[in-house]
Amino acid sequence: MVIPNSEWYGRRAAMGGVHSLPFPQKTMKLKRYLITLALLVASMPASAIYISEKMVNDYLEKKIAEKNQKDVKVLNSHVALLDGYASICASVRSRYLAKDVDFCADMTPAWRQETASLHATRMALVSFDAPGVPPQQIEALKTLLNQIVLPRLEGVELYRTEELIGKRISSVKVVPGQLDIAM
């Protein structure tokens, strides 16, 4: 491949700008542009990319609506992203219960890179209210749920993103109101 001398290049550039450059020089210019763009993106702080609490709640609401059954319905679910952990609160309505049961559970959100999704881990009930049930039975029921039911719910999906983006996310950090993403 012959690279033109600088005099020839100067005349060609003056006549028509970049469009009149020979092909190898066009590709070099494009490579420089792409390298500069990649360096800019790589130097952006990780906190500039995040998943908001609203996005998590919207996704969860959609998923719960798909899974609600005739016998049991989850109502008014809300995830609060706090410092280092998250809390989920909801009401459960069942035709087998006289009134709605309210609960709140703390959890640690964990990112699964292979599925491009956020999952609840280490869930523990912090409050449980079942109208008409004595406080001693509530505490016993809460202990039973923490030891038997919640471990089986380990890994419940809270959020999913496109695989193209999600498989590049290596971890998430829970901060108040959002999940900071590290790629």
Domain with residue 58: its CATH number is 3.15.10.40
Residue 32 CA from chain centroid, whole number:
33
Q: How many domains does the chain have?
A: 2
Residues 176 and 120 in one domain: yes
Residues 22 and 62 in one domain: no
Residues 68 and 127 in one domain: yes
In a domain, residue 91? The reply is yes
Strand ranges inside the chain, DSSP E: 50-52, 72-81, 86-94, 101-112, 117-129, 156-160, 171-175, 178-182
Residues 92 and 32 in one domain: no
Residues 126 and 83 in one domain: yes
Residues 98 and 57 in one domain: yes
In a domain, residue 133? The reply is yes
Residues 167 and 119 in one domain: yes
Residues 163 and 73 in one domain: yes
Q: Which domain holds residue 146?
A: 50-182
Alpha helix (H) residue ranges in 74-172: 135-144, 150-152, 163-166
**pLDDT tens-place values along the chain, 183 residues long:** 445 555 545 555 555 555 555 556 656 677 776 776 666 555 555 445 788 899 989 988 888 887 777 778 888 889 999 999 999 998 988 887 788 889 999 999 988 888 888 888 899 999 988 888 888 888 888 888 889 888 887 888 888 888 888 888 888 888 899 888 887
* Residue given tokens 């959890």 in the structure block: 107
- Is the pTM of the predicted complex or chain greater than 0.75? no
Residues 35 and 101 in one domain: no
Structure tokens given for 54: 């609203």
